[in-house]
Amino acid sequence: MRKVFVAGNWKMNLDSAGSRALANGLCQKLADRDLSGTIDMAVCPPFVYLPIVAEALQSGPIALGAQDVYFEPDGAFTGEISVNMLRDVGCRYVIVGHSERRHVLGETDEQINRKLRAVLAGGLKPILCIGELLGEREDGRTEAVIERHLRKGLADVAPAEMERVTVAYEPVWAIGTGRTASPEQAQEAHRFARGILQEMFGPATAQRIRIQYGGSVKPANAAELIRQPDVDGALVGGASLKVNDFWGILDAAAQAG
């Protein structure tokens, strides 16, 4: 049976008290009903709240993740955060190439690839976000974008290292818009992505790589999305900011996986 992976991306939201309360609330839910046998879980708070959330999560079933990283290990890079620093505060996952980093902050595929390889070299697990803009979908370029993001983002990664990589298909038009991809649209994109991964890393590895769906996932639509054969979990933004909403998604994923 596959074990799906659900991660919450808190983005630039909450304060220290809110971050602690959210982490505590999720831990309380899990103390009542442990889902860790069925799903893997992570939350990705802003950098400054990582230690606070790490303390709240203790060594429980929810892993800690970061929303970004810089690819150099140390040195004169004012304002940046390295993989070593993230590992030092207890992170296990790092999101790279989120659409907001690509399209708001102007990150390139090459920078994203360097970040992803730095995360792997530092022993952590990258979550590589891929996905098309609305205009790209309307122009029939969805598959070309997925292929480019995968081939460039995963360049020079060995098949054995792919055991630690999660891919998150996040159509940009679905992020924070309330307009979720239909289960069929998600499955079609995920199936295509898995085909590219198969070409790159072989069928056995491609089959094992978890491909999360992200884009307005809610408790009400999570199960149907995750029931799709190539949808192996979810990356959740807005709905990961409230205990009951995120719990609803975790619960749905535990049943649908």
**55-74 b/e (C-beta count within 10 Å ≥ 16 → b):** ebbeeebbbbbbbbbbbeee
Query: For ligand PEP, which stretch binds (CB under 6 A), given 57-65, 138-146, 202-210, 237-245?
Result: 237-245
Closer of 126 and 215 to ligand PEP (Cβ):
215
Pick the binder of ligand PEP from 97, 171, 214, 233 (CB under 6 A): 214
Contact stretch for ligand PEP (CB under 6 A) within 34-42, 134-142, 202-210, 215-223:
215-223
Question: Does residue number 217 form part of the binding site for ligand PEP (CB under 6 A)?
Answer: yes
Backbone angles phi, psi at 141, to 5 degrees: -105, 15
For the segment 138-177, give every residue that binds ligand PEP (CB under 6 A): 170, 175-176
From 45, 126, 238, 257, residue interacting with ligand PEP (rule: CB under 6 A): 238
- Which residue from 206, 183, 205 is spatially nearest to 196, judged by alpha carbons? 206
Cβ 217 to ligand PEP, closest distance in Å? 5
Question: Annotated active-site positions, please?
Answer: 98, 170
What mask, x for binding ligand PEP by CB under 6 A, covers residues 1 to 20? --------x-x---------
Segment interacting with ligand PEP (CB under 6 A) among 36-44, 53-61, 120-128, 236-244: 236-244
Least spacing, CB of residue 171 vs ligand PEP, in Å: 9
> Is position 132 an interface residue for ligand PEP (rule: CB under 6 A)?
no
Q: Give the tokens for residue 58.
A: 């203790």
* Rounded least distance, CB 31 to ligand PEP, Å: 26
Q: Can residue 222 be called a binding residue for ligand PEP (CB under 6 A)?
A: no
Which residue ranges make up the site for ligand PEP (CB under 6 A)? Answer: 9, 11, 170, 175-176, 214-217, 235-239
